[in-house]
Amino acid sequence: MATPETASSKRRALLPFRVVVEPRISDVPRWLAPLVSLGALVLALVLGGIVLAVVGGSPIQTYLHMARAAFGDTGVFSDTLVKATPILLCGLACSLAFRMKLWNIGAEGQFFLGAWAASAVVLLPLLAGTTPRFVMLLVMALAGFLGGALWGFVPGLLKAKLNVNEVLTTLMMNYIAISWNNFFIFAVWSERGFQMSPVFPNSAWLPRLADYAQQVPFFAGLTTHLGLLLGLIAAGILWWVLYRSQWGFEIQLTGDNPRAAQYAGINIARNTILVMMLSGGLAGLAGMSEISGVVHRLQGAISPGYGFTGIIVAWLAKLNPLVVVPVSVLFGGLILAGREIQPSGIAKLLQGIILFCLISSEVLLRYRVRIVRAKQG
Amino acid sequence: MSEATLAVEMRGVVMRFPGVLANDHVDFDLREGEIHALLGENGAGKSTLMNVLAGMYRPESGTIRVRGQPAELRSPRDAIARGIGMVHQHFMLVPSQTVTENILLGLDEPRFFMRLPLYEQRVAQLAQEFGLHVDPHCKVWQLSVGEQQRVELLKMLYRGAHILIMDEPTAVLAPQEIEGLFRVLRGMVAEGKSIVFISHKLGEVMEIADRITVLRKGQVTAAGLKPSDTSAVELARLMVGRPVLFRVEKEPQPPGDAVLAVEGVSCLNDKGLAALRDISFQVHAGEILGIAGVAGNGQRELADVITGLRRCTAGRVLLQGQVISDRPPRIAIERGVGHIPEDRREVGSAPNLSITDNLILKAYRKAPIAKGLSVDMQAAKRHATHQRAEYEIIAPSVDTAVRFLSGGNLQRLILAREISEGPGLMIAMQPTRGLDVGAIEGVQRMLLELRRAGTAILLVSEELDEIVCLSDRVAVIYEGRIVGEIAGDRCDAERDRIGLMMTGQTRDGATQGARQPESQEVQRGDA
């Protein structure tokens, strides 16, 4: 065994120090996790900047322009919040499921079914257009929640009873939901042959800030709608559920060690179904909020992949509902800024780099990196 | 020169974990062709020292020479390149792959085409040479624990290891398997291999070791003792630094009413084979019923059935007259069944959750920890802080994740949790397995304390000493049946008979086979 030894000693001689990566054997300090995330974000911006420089742009200028386009004044910031709203709700949906290690990647489909169910209230119609706005919106929200919950229930039931992999079922059901929606906008609710439903009556619109411009002039032209408030309340409630409630304790325990959860007398099958339903319901609510607050009709292109963005947002927020809020705003801003810059792929690229850096940075929480002086011998 | 005859020479090894000095300038010598036992309590630093030798940890300071050559061991790969192989306590095998595939895993040969038959033959040859009987094309999940250990050994031998480190190899083995292992180890030494045998069991060490080094709290308290020059008592003193009571005192106590009644229970194991066959017994208040038996004879399934984690195919389990079998596990918990699971890390705890969370694993849904729908974090913390002090769980804080706890600490945590529920019945599965002498004594005392408080205790253990010492009655389980029952006061005298029954032998020497069960009569002592 002489050859490998000499080879390794040669390698050793190259540098005066070496980098040692060791698994951590004790708790990480509290401040480390946010610091590492922040570092990863900065690194992502630097990497993105290099790409920008390579394609001939000025990184600083581009970033400034993007920042202005998303956060520059109240008008664009309001638009950013509009984009952030569905992302927030989808991010919450994914955070909840991921806490229990249920890989719900079907928020997109649940979003569509929520949008469909909320539309059905107006278009079937379940309620006449003259219904008071409050009642109308409440029923629509409920319908949206239930629509999404149904789309979560099916994979949840299959997982709980037959141990069917939820990654496959939720993914597949995305396509069913989108086709289901298409069927209705092409055939049933189509307005004069266009692939969209008629515009909802005014009572089915979530109020916007701009609606109150007469009372508060500052609100003039601001598109932010009540869905945002819905999302913030949902974030608060979900935080309490996950971090303070008994049910949240069960979810966390099951996520960490299902066998210990079973041993502790927790009904895993029931929780699987409930978590999938609540997760689907939150994504469904995002769908309702989007059609009722933004597009005001059911149509095909209501989501540029909010459900999938929700997955990323949930991960970046480390599955903490309160952190989902700022991360959603960041991503809402990125979507908005993406429209302002050419090539428009830059924003998506940046999203990808951010995700990559943040997920890679997890390594630093599990392992400790030391630089040690190379020893002879 | 005597230096040349040393297989391994470790000098001044210092290894520090946060808050713990695991190895404090430790010297260790391994001679060629010897079995050197490394003895010490849990947390004494035995495994740490050997993990350093196997390239898993890097010491803060100290030098290592392998066969006289200075060695820097940066990874297990470096270690194996120098002929050092370690068989860990927890096996590192891929269950869905065959024995041969596991052995080849990570090697440069074969390159692309597996050519399994060729390698199977080589593995079989190697197995033959060292008496490690195992079928090379069996899948690992089909193998018993003893066989899996042999695969680990083969893996190291195949990689050309001439220095073998065995980390607590007997902890998972049945008595006969231990004998088999010892034969294999002696055979290997005869072939010129050198072996480090990590253990905290005095008897075994006295039996197998050529020399013994004792560690206590990271320091060497005796180096290179010959078994003939020392005694078990002397070694125990070196290990724990105080004289050990080998017997916990047990006061006689008349048993109360029957608490647990198992009536004609049969069930299947995870592979769908019969695990329990028409098993019946009772446990009374303030009584310890010991279940003696070699692992894998239905003990785990028995505990599962009583706690509701497994369904019966026949029969039922009654707790104070009420059926608790075939019902959700929560029913048993609520009726006061405490359960110390066999597998502390896989079943008994959630590794990434804190000490607090693990202590309220069952109590979170009851007042005072539960408050309405929420968990009262303040109350939980207070509860945890109190338990940590009372049960001497050593950790920086109650927020520490339990994956950082040592085996003994984790077991104390589980005991704290299960005892604080005030159980009417305690299922104690291998409660002292893998613990050091001091911790074992503590656990045994706690069980006796529970007995005094009137708890019915079902004690399942592979340590015959423990069973005999603690139990009021002993039932022997073999292939899912109770094959005999002996009153506690006669246990000492009947030890040999218990041992025989554990291996399925009746007094006349006939094997109680699984194939013709009806033809055998069950041996019963007076209950």
Q: What is the pLDDT of residue A368?
A: 80
pLDDT, tens digit, 9 for 90 and up, residues B458-488: 999 877 778 888 999 999 998 899 998 988 7
Contact across the interface for B334 and A259, Cβ inside 8 Å: no
Any idea which architecture B2-240 has in CATH? 3-Layer(aba) Sandwich (3.40)
Q: What is the pLDDT of residue B42?
A: 67
Q: What is the pLDDT of residue B108?
A: 78
Q: What is the pLDDT of residue A23?
A: 74
Write A5-12 long-range contacts (CB < 8 A, 24+): A5/B81, A8/B78, A12/A374
Q: What is the pLDDT of residue B245?
A: 52
* Distance (Å) of CA A174 to CA A153, A170, A277, A297: 14, 6, 15, 20
Tokens standing for A267? 């009904």
Contact (CB, 8 A) for B1 and B161 = no
Q: What is the pLDDT of residue B307?
A: 94
Tokens standing for A262? 């079973």
The region of weakest confidence among A114-128, B26-40, B362-376, B433-447 is: B433-447
Q: Chain A closest CA to B316's CA: distance in Å?
A: 19
Single out the residue of B103, B161, B114, B110 nearest to residue B136, CA to CA. B103
> Is the confidence at residue B3, as pLDDT, over 50?
no
User: Is B248-336+423-527 the same fold as B2-240?
Assistant: yes
DSSP string, B395-406: -S-TTSBGGGS-
| Average pLDDT of span B130-141 | 86
Q: What is the pLDDT of residue A104?
A: 95
Any chain A CB within 8 A of the CB of B146? Answer: no
Domain count, chain A: 1
Containing structural domain, residue A182: 70-342
Q: What is the pLDDT of residue B516?
A: 38
Nearest to A246 among B341, B365, B399 (CB): B365
Contact across the interface for A265 and B58, Cβ inside 8 Å: no
| Average pLDDT of span A328-340 | 87
To the nearest whole percent, how much of chain A has pLDDT over 70?
A: 93
The residue of chain B nearest to residue A257, with distances taken between CA atoms, is: B350
pLDDT, tens digit, 9 for 90 and up, residues A34-87: 888 889 989 999 999 998 898 888 889 888 988 998 898 999 999 999 999 999
Please give the angle made by the CA atoms of A223, A227 and A229, to the nearest 5 degrees: 100
pLDDT, tens digit, 9 for 90 and up, residues A297-314: 999 888 988 999 999 899
| Average pLDDT of span B322-348 | 92
The residue of chain B nearest to residue A30, with distances taken between CA atoms, is: B399
Alpha-helical (H) ranges within A100-219 are 107-123, 133-162, 166-183
Cα B258 from chain centroid?
30
Tokens standing for B380? 């939980």
> Is the confidence at residue B250, as pLDDT, over 60?
yes
Q: What is the pLDDT of residue A9?
A: 42
> Is the confidence at residue A376, as pLDDT, over 70?
no
Cα A344 from chain centroid?
21
Complex-level ipTM beyond the 0.90 threshold: no
Contact (CB, 8 A) for B50 and B8 = no
Q: Chain A closest CA to B264's CA: distance in Å?
A: 24
Q: What is the pLDDT of residue B2?
A: 46
The region of weakest confidence among A117-121, B236-240, B299-303, B452-456 is: B236-240
**pLDDT interval class at B210 (50, 70, 90):** very high
Q: Chain A closest CA to B72's CA: distance in Å?
A: 7
Q: What is the pLDDT of residue B112?
A: 76
Contact across the interface for B361 and A4, Cβ inside 8 Å: no
Q: What is the pLDDT of residue A100?
A: 96
Q: What is the pLDDT of residue B278?
A: 94
> Is the confidence at residue A7, as pLDDT, over 60?
no
Nearest to B348 among A249, A256, A260 (CB): A260
> Is the confidence at residue A377, as pLDDT, over 50?
no
Nearest to B329 among A20, A245, A262 (CB): A262
Residue ranges of A 307-346 with Cβ closer than 8 A to chain B: none
The region of weakest confidence among B70-79, B95-104, B244-253, B384-393 is: B244-253
Q: How far apart are CA A214 and CA B48, in angstroms?
A: 73
Any chain A CB within 8 A of the CB of B60? Answer: no
Q: What is the pLDDT of residue A237?
A: 97
Q: How far apart are CA A271 and CA A275, in angstroms?
A: 6
Is A49 inside a domain boundary?
no
**pLDDT interval class at A6 (50, 70, 90):** very low
CATH of residue A100: 1.10.3470
| Average pLDDT of span B358-376 | 92
How much is the mean pLDDT over chain A?
88
At B84 the three-state DSSP class reads strand
Residues 6+ apart with CB under 8 A from B432: B411, B439, B440, B443, B444, B461, B463, B466
Q: What is the pLDDT of residue B522?
A: 40
A368 or A209: whose pLDDT is higher?
Answer: A209
Cα B364 from chain centroid?
29
The region of weakest confidence among A89-98, B1-10, B437-446 is: B1-10
Q: What is the pLDDT of residue A14?
A: 64
> Is the confidence at residue A343, as pLDDT, over 80?
no
Is A111 inside a domain boundary?
yes
Contact across the interface for B362 and A244, Cβ inside 8 Å: no
Region of residue B243 (left: phi > 0; alpha: psi -120 to 50; beta: else)? beta
Residue ranges of B 308-367 with Cβ closer than 8 A to chain A: 309, 328-330, 332-334, 339, 341, 346-353, 357, 360-362, 364-365
> Is the confidence at residue B519, as pLDDT, over 50?
no
Q: Residue ranges per domain, chain B? A: 2-240, 248-336+423-527, 351-421
Tokens standing for A167? 């990654």
**pLDDT interval class at B505 (50, 70, 90):** low
Q: Chain B closest CA to A312's CA: distance in Å?
A: 23
**pLDDT interval class at A355 (50, 70, 90):** confident
**pLDDT interval class at B118 (50, 70, 90):** confident
| Average pLDDT of span B70-96 | 88
List the single best residue of B11, B375, B410 to mutate versus A (max A Cβ within 10 A). B375
Residues 6+ apart with CB under 8 A from A325: A88, A231, A232, A235
Contact across the interface for B396 and A247, Cβ inside 8 Å: no
* Residue where the block lists tokens 């850096």: A357
Q: What is the pLDDT of residue A187?
A: 86
Q: Does pTM surpass 0.80? A: no
Q: What is the pLDDT of residue A34?
A: 81
> Is the confidence at residue B184, as pLDDT, over 50?
yes
Q: What is the pLDDT of residue B363?
A: 92
Any chain B CB within 8 A of the CB of A13? Answer: no
> Is the confidence at residue B28, as pLDDT, over 70?
yes
Any chain A CB within 8 A of the CB of B83? Answer: yes
**pLDDT interval class at B317 (50, 70, 90):** very high
Q: What is the pLDDT of residue B386?
A: 94
> Is the confidence at residue B507, as pLDDT, over 90?
no
pLDDT, tens digit, 9 for 90 and up, residues A263-290: 999 999 999 999 999 999 999 999 999 9
pLDDT, tens digit, 9 for 90 and up, residues B165-182: 998 888 777 777 888 899
Q: What is the pLDDT of residue B19?
A: 61
How much is the mean pLDDT over chain B?
85
Q: What is the pLDDT of residue A109?
A: 96
| Average pLDDT of span A87-111 | 96
Q: How far apart are CA B212 and CA B193, in angstroms?
A: 17
Is A21 inside a domain boundary?
no
Nearest to A246 among B70, B347, B373 (CB): B373
Q: What is the pLDDT of residue A245?
A: 95
The residue of chain A nearest to residue B306, with distances taken between CA atoms, is: A263
The domain defined by B248-336+423-527 carries CATH number 3.40.50.300: yes
| Average pLDDT of span B28-54 | 88
> Is the confidence at residue A345, as pLDDT, over 80?
no
Any chain B CB within 8 A of the CB of A259? Answer: yes
Is A236 inside a domain boundary?
yes
The residue of chain A nearest to residue B347, with distances taken between CA atoms, is: A260
Q: A70-84, A360-374, B400-414 — which one is most confidently predicted on average?
A: A70-84
Contact across the interface for B17 and A257, Cβ inside 8 Å: no
The region of weakest confidence among B56-60, B118-122, B271-275 is: B271-275
| Average pLDDT of span A338-350 | 77
Contact across the interface for B19 and A26, Cβ inside 8 Å: yes
Beta-strand relationship, B481-487 and A17-23: unpaired
